[in-house]
Structure 1
Amino acid sequence: MSLAPQDRKSPEGSGRQGGGRRRGGSTTERPRRRRRALRWSASVLAVVILGTAGAGYLYYQHLNANIRKGERSSGDDSRAYKTPANAAGQTPLNILLIGSDSRNSAEDLRLGGSRDSVGAPPLADVQMLIHLSADRKSAAMVSIPRDTRVHIPKCTDPKTGKKYPETDDIINVTLARGGAGCTLATWEGLTGVYIDHWMMIDFAGVVNMADAIGGVDVCVKQNVWDHPTPSVPGGSGLKMKAGTHQVYGEQALQWLRTRHAWGSDPLRARAQHMYLNSMIRKLKQQNVFTDSGRLMNLAEAATKSLTVSEEIGTVKKLYDLAMEMKSVPTNRITSLTVANNPDPEDPKNHVVLDKPNADKLWQMLRDDVPLDKNGKPSAAKQVAVRTPAAKTPSTDPGRLGVLVRNATQTSTQAAVRGRANDISQVLAQQGYTRATADTSGALSEDSTVVQYPSVDLQGDAQAVAKALGIPMSAVKQSTDVSGVTVVVGADWRTGTAYPKQPAPKAGDVPKNTDTINGSDTSTCMDVYGPYRW
């Protein structure tokens, strides 16, 4: 990623359909980064705090009035499905935390907002999926960089009724294309993980919350000063000597929004994960859960800063949710940023997911496989076979047209000649006599998928996948096809039976994810050369 100043993206394109555009300059950079950091730190903190604020019915009612609510999903029908319960009847819990960059309140502006952005659609600059295992003994915190280009589904704004067509764009514009429910729908389409709830945070009152915690320990390897340079304007102002320091209010915010001194956006995410893990450890150690005065102040600030999906829109439900999160030991918490690569369309500013490693991570979350190796085998084993709800095919196999494409080409291997024809013959033997091989040329895909253009063909696509032994998680809706299409990927270069993929093991985290364990107190941030003093 480039070290150019980080500006706010807009949902309106500047050269390609739906492209995020950059606005402003160094005069607005500091306030924008400050708010993103505030919202991010508030996200998880609010969940923890709310779990301790249920002392009485009247207080609940007061806090309930603070909470704002919205639709869980505003996107097209989701292709994600819930992980089946284990033998003990337990299911995983997935919560999407969203940090909005809205500037549409006086408090936002007081904390550093830019007046030229008042009234602009909010963007989801911080996005983190919290996954709690079915047995509530492990957890994962997975971030996707805000500049990641992804497929965004058709969404409808629940407030205005405005419909937004599906597009490929930067993931942070989802909030402006149908609210938090569109961000959730985008994540579900991207990961195949069913997301139970979303929580969106603004940053009003977060400074007081940071101080109320009593400081959080952070560490740097060298003296750091994140200041403007002749080539790179802006900076958080963070200045500290090498070693471990306890940061409060303003300095904590500087730590969370520092980017230049670490060298990139992914490394800023690493610093944020380190801060969050340190914060969780401190909350577990101190008496914040028994100090009613501190709890009331924290709960008041948290609920005023919180918007949630409507099915968890009461303090009682948030309390129950937080108690489940609180039970996870710190050495079973894994935080990471999904593997990514520079975007070929805009390598200096945007990234795309590293598909093989990202797909492995999504499978681990769908299968509820712990990302750490510190747990003992559970007596309640997860159901081995995950079967989404099957749709009824719209027609008989012999009447369905199926196109088979050869996508076995890789960066190091040529496409397998005749592969599409081989698989179309397998389908013909299964009754799909109208299956044909695409002759337009070889493609390149890491994984085999079955695509369909519209919901009415979903059942047919599922039936085709079943006939070939392809898992249901590989059945995807796509506007790139006009009918049911089998894309034979590099994972199926030989044989007529789809090869069974090895099940991921606990702790077998994909590469390039910059993983941190919640109990790790030894890591320090390395300071990029120009910002050492």
Structure 2
Amino acid sequence: MTQSDVRGEGTRRGAGRSARDGTAGAPRGGGHRGGGRARRRAPRRHRVLRWSASTVAVLILVVAGAGYLYYEHLNGNIEKGARTAGDSKAAPSEPNAAGQTPMNILLIGSDSRASDENVKLGGGKNERGNAPLADVQMLIHLSADRKSAAMVSIPRDTRVDIPACKDPDSGKTYPATNDIINVTLGRGGAGCTLATWENLTGVYIDHWMTIDFAGVVRMADAVGGVEVCVNQNVWDRSTAAVHGGSGLKMTKGTHKVQGEQALQWLRTRHAWGSDPMRARAQHMYLNSMLRTLQQQNAFTDAPRLMDLAEAATKSLTVSEEIGTVKKLYDLGKQLKTVPADRITMATMPTDQDPQNANHLVPAGADAEKMWAMLRDDVSFDKKGSPAKKPAAGTGTAEAGSAPAPGDSPAADGDIDVLVRNGTRSTALGPVSGRAATVAGALNAKGFTQAAKDTSPAVSQETTAVRYPSDDLAGDARRVADALGIPASSVRKSADVSGITLVVGSDWRSGTSFPKERTPAAGDLPENSDSLNGSETGKCMDVYKPYQW
């Protein structure tokens, strides 16, 4: 073999190695070293890629885990309780033609001094062990189509019938009584306040929320302040004539309040002159707060939303059905969709209590008119549509609906009916003999088994026919038809053993149920002190002794 053959063979071998190693044209020795480095470098790149992918995966898991832990942290902040603790007869709202139902939420402001923070903010260190009072009570009504909302206050010193309630924590049972409405919180918690509202109004309330002094301060700080206005310099303080006061002190004009000053604004009563005027000041505050939140885009601004979520979950105690962050967030979003000019705030019309000049009572027909609008989901502003009554039998019996059209009633003379007098009300008192009168009317119409209940009159705002089981649904419907009682007032109930007609305070005379007038949108009583959410520039007048 010649030298040239050796060189050629060597070159071919080198070329072969260079092709495999990616070092074409390199000297054999250099090609060998380069090839070695190349073989070591490739696995390192793969290791880097694998390490990077693993890091990203870990980071994703960490971020997701942190989000989950934060979500669970917020859920852990929320205190919850049973929806009702009292004897309530209100039935769930009927759906509209589109299958939508309104939502009612009771907001309760507690004066509890159960913590050092609340004692510091509210004073009254000697009251620390006292039962809390529900000094602020406001029903938030979201219409079935979520296009309008109403917020209705009952002044804390309003005397009402309070049902029997059981404290869910202690198990203590409180008998039914007649007292001012703010004592309900100490007679079974928020569930007792809810039951009292339901019996007074006939409005089914889906949820409740309570907030204490410290919670108000946290929420006001989280929002960043709320604008309020007074027409004169105000200082709510003790005077020679009246002890106490919130401590609110500000000059005439518009101010942004937050923290403790916001709490002072909401608690002020003497400087406004009355409890209903305090409700007006609270409405102005909430009105301004809602506008502030909408301007801040709180539901789309993540940092703002986190601040509010932290404050809200630490500040609110809620009924157990809405006891998660997601459910509270969904509620907030539903309220946010309502335009400001479709939100109306009002106070239940009241009269002076004939038993105590310092107390109030519901103002009869005017108060009932407001509750009827809520029950029928009629908007408080003039932009809404007239009430649309559900057809008979459109719901389910368990949900408190009218009986189905196919139910066949027995012969009128074979239907047993017990008639109760439910006309006793805080403002007017019972109508004597109503059960006997209506039972007699049924007898005259052929319902010979109808009889009056001889027990004392009870308090029920709205007339209702109740039946215990599905086989009596048709009979109950027949009784209602005979007297002109609407189908929506016929309901299945576990509280009765047979067909029971309770003649409510909405039917105080006559033997035929009064024809219902369909409420008109915006047709609020003049003495409801209503405020539209789009109204700005409203200022409180200061009672002269508290001007400076």
Match of 2:528 in 1: 513
Identity of aligned residues (%): 62
Q: How many residues align?
A: 461
Deviation at 1:475, TM superposition (A): 8.1
In structure 1, give the amino acid aligned to 2:519.
Answer: P
Distance 2:257 2:328 in 1: 28
Distance 2:192 2:421 in 1: 31
- More off after superposition, 55-64 vs 144-153: 55-64
Distance 1:181 1:254 in 2: 27
Say which of 361, 366, 374 aligns to 2:370: 361
- Give the 3-state SS of the residue equivalent to 2:357 in structure 1: coil
Match of 1:92 in 2: 102
Match of 1:180 in 2: 190
Say which of 390, 396, 401 aligns to 1:383: 390
* Contact 1:402 1:432 survives alignment (8 Å): no
Residues 54-453 of structure 1 correspond to what in structure 2 (within 5 A)?
56-76=67-87, 78-348=88-358, 350-375=359-384, 377=385, 383=390, 388-389=400-401, 400=416, 424-433=439-448, 449=463
1:500 and 2:515 correspond: yes
Deviation at 1:257, TM superposition (A): 1.8
Summarize the Cα distance change of 1:123–1:296 in structure 2 as closer, same or farther, 3 Å threshold.
Answer: same
* Contact 1:220 1:244 survives alignment (8 Å): yes
In structure 2, give the amino acid aligned to 1:361.
Answer: M
- Give the 3-state SS of the residue equivalent to 2:92 in structure 1: coil
Match of 1:28 in 2: none
Deviation at 1:364, TM superposition (A): 0.8
Q: Is there any run of 5+ residues in structure 2 with no aligned partner, and where?
A: 1-65
- CA deviation digits over 1:341-362, x for unaligned, max 9? 12222222x2111121121111
- Give the 3-state SS of the residue equivalent to 2:526 in structure 1: coil
- Give the 3-state SS of the residue equivalent to 1:204 in structure 2: helix
- CA deviation digits over 1:394-416, x for unaligned, max 9? 998557475698989xx9xxx99
Deviation at 1:120, TM superposition (A): 2.4
Summarize the Cα distance change of 1:227–1:86 in structure 2 as closer, same or farther, 3 Å threshold.
Answer: same
- CA deviation digits over 1:11-51, x for unaligned, max 9? xxxxxxxxxxxxxxxxxxxxxxxxxxxxxxxxxxxxxxxxx
1:530 and 2:545 correspond: yes
- CA deviation digits over 1:450-490, x for unaligned, max 9? 699x989x98987644431124677899x9xxx96775979
In structure 2, give the amino acid aligned to 1:323.
Answer: K
In structure 2, give the amino acid aligned to 1:67.
Answer: I
When the two chains are superposed, the root-mean-square deviation of aligned CA atoms in Å is: 4.1
Summarize the Cα distance change of 1:290–1:492 in structure 2 as closer, same or farther, 3 Å threshold.
Answer: closer
Deviation at 1:135, TM superposition (A): 0.8
Summarize the Cα distance change of 1:115–1:254 in structure 2 as closer, same or farther, 3 Å threshold.
Answer: closer
Summarize the Cα distance change of 1:245–1:343 in structure 2 as closer, same or farther, 3 Å threshold.
Answer: same
- Give the 3-state SS of the residue equivalent to 1:261 in structure 2: helix
Distance 1:325 1:331 in 2: 13
Deviation at 1:503, TM superposition (A): 0.7
Match of 1:44 in 2: none
Deviation at 1:97, TM superposition (A): 1.1
Distance 1:490 1:96 in 2: 24
* Contact 1:331 1:519 survives alignment (8 Å): yes
Deviation at 1:430, TM superposition (A): 3.1
Distance 2:542 2:137 in 1: 25
TM-score (ref. length: structure 1): 0.75
Higher relative contact order (CA 8 A, sep 6+): 1
- CA deviation digits over 1:170-214, x for unaligned, max 9? 222222222221211121111111111111222325434323423
Summarize the Cα distance change of 1:276–1:397 in structure 2 as closer, same or farther, 3 Å threshold.
Answer: farther
Larger Rg, first or second structure (1 or 2): 2
- More off after superposition, 359-368 vs 422-431: 422-431
In structure 2, give the amino acid aligned to 1:306.
Answer: L
Deviation at 1:86, TM superposition (A): 1.8
Q: Is there any run of 5+ residues in structure 1 with no aligned partner, and where?
A: 1-54
Distance 1:272 1:510 in 2: 20
Distance 1:280 1:334 in 2: 12
* Contact 2:422 2:504 survives alignment (8 Å): yes
- More off after superposition, 280-289 vs 186-195: 280-289
Summarize the Cα distance change of 1:79–1:436 in structure 2 as closer, same or farther, 3 Å threshold.
Answer: closer
- Give the 3-state SS of the residue equivalent to 1:347 in structure 2: strand
* Contact 1:138 1:329 survives alignment (8 Å): yes
* Contact 2:101 2:143 survives alignment (8 Å): yes
Distance 2:532 2:415 in 1: 53
* Contact 2:273 2:543 survives alignment (8 Å): yes
Higher helix share: 2
